[in-house]
Amino acid sequence: MKTYYIFSNGVLRRKENTIVFETSENEKKFIPVENVEQIFVFGEVDFNNKFLNFIGQNNICLHIFNYYGWYSGTFYPRETNISGTLIVEQVKHYLEFSKRLVLAKKFIEGAIHNIKRNLQKKGNLKSEEDKVVECENLIESVDSIPKLMSLEAQVRKIYYGCFEKLTGWNFEERSIQPPKNPLNALISFGNSLVYSIILKEIYLTPLSPFISFLHEPGERRYSLALDVSEIFKPILSDKLIIKLIDLKIIKEDNFVKEMQGVYLNEEGRKVFIEEFDKQLETTVLHRKLRKKVKYKTLIKLELYKLIKHLLGEKEYQPLKVWW
């Protein structure tokens, strides 16, 4: 199964039992539907109900990004892997504050640990690492979700304050809408990819993407993907950004300045996505399973650990990188 990325302008449509992408230059690319895991669209692409019904029947998620590479939304097919028992338990764990707080703390615990590991690998950020550890030690005593979110924000402020040292690029401060410099543009783009990949993995489970524990559920977002993303952003996005800059794979001429913001150009997005895909396929030795697993498999394992917790089978412990 493959993930397909579309950068050109054109039309996506169904032709009999396959997918066809026809570019604005009338070039046709046939995509065997049985080989599609998900589709990312970055170009100006048209599609109709017939196409959406077709990919829905084949359980394919379609992620839409705008002209600037900004995540717009996901076509999320009707769930087929449904468990009423699990949904009831997921709702219970949200409604019962003590249960919700336990899970919210676990997501923050995993996120902060993985942030700390990124700082440790640089070797000359001991002062900042110590500040992160101080915050990490406060997690257990926090008694509300807002306080927990505030603690995480404090850690990220310390962490992002190190990004100039981690990359050698100008950073100043975190800016999102719009990103004010190339480093902020990379972080936003990487985080969007992490969120999209996690959302697709949630779709393959009986979990509801709408019921979350750290982030407040909302009407127009899949908030469980936001929760799980906290653990994986330092692993999948931040580490990759540092590597791409260090190896000069991504350069400052891969960006454009438009609409008072800075964005990756098409070539920059292609380079980032190519390396992001390689990373998802990279394997690490799993200490408990005692075998090598792909990075993208770690996401799947994380979701099933969460399911076991919700069903009362085993307490959830977040992924904490050891490599």
Which DSSP string corresponds to 84-121? HHHHHHHHHHHHSHHHHHHHHHHHHHHHHHHHHHHHHH
DSSP annotation of 3 reads: E
Q: Beta strand pairing status for 2-6 and 10-15?
A: unpaired
**Quick check: 109 and 139 in contact, CB under 8 A?**
yes
Give the pLDDT confidence score for residue 220 in this predicted structure.
62
Per-residue pLDDT of the chain (323 residues; tens, 9 = 90+): 899 999 999 999 999 899 999 998 888 999 999 989 999 999 899 999 999 999 999 999 999 998 888 899 999 998 888 899 999 999 999 999 999 999 999 999 999 999 999 999 877 788 999 999 999 999 999 999 999 999 999 999 999 999 988 898 988 889 888 899 999 999 999 999 999 999 999 999 999 999 999 999 876 679 999 999 999 999 999 999 999 999 999 998 999 998 789 999 999 999 999 999 999 999 998 888 889 999 999 999 999 999 999 999 999 999 999 87
Amino acid in position 86: L
Token representation of residue 139: 């997690």
**Quick check: 306 and 94 in contact, CB under 8 A?**
no
Amino acid in position 229: S
Give the pLDDT confidence score for residue 54 in this predicted structure.
95
DSSP annotation of 154 reads: H
Give the pLDDT confidence score for residue 173 in this predicted structure.
86
Give the pLDDT confidence score for residue 125 in this predicted structure.
87
Q: Shortest CA distance to 39 belongs to which of 57, 16, 12?
A: 12
Q: Residue 261 phi/psi, 5° resolution?
A: -135, 175
Calculate the alpha carbon distances from 241 to 128, 276, 288 in Å.
19, 10, 28
Give the pLDDT confidence score for residue 219 in this predicted structure.
62
Helix (H/G/I), strand (E/B), else coil: 208: coil
**Which domains, ranges and CATH numbers included, belong to the chain?**
2-75 (3.100.10.20), 84-310 (1.20.120.920)
Give the pLDDT confidence score for residue 289 in this predicted structure.
83
Calculate the alpha carbon distances from 170 to 5, 126, 160, 261 in Å.
30, 21, 11, 15
Exposed/middle/buried for residue 55 (C-beta within 10 Å: 0-12, 13-18, 19+): buried
Give the pLDDT confidence score for residue 286 in this predicted structure.
87
Give the pLDDT confidence score for residue 124 in this predicted structure.
79
Exposed/middle/buried for residue 185 (C-beta within 10 Å: 0-12, 13-18, 19+): buried
Residues 6+ apart with CB under 8 A from 52: 62, 75
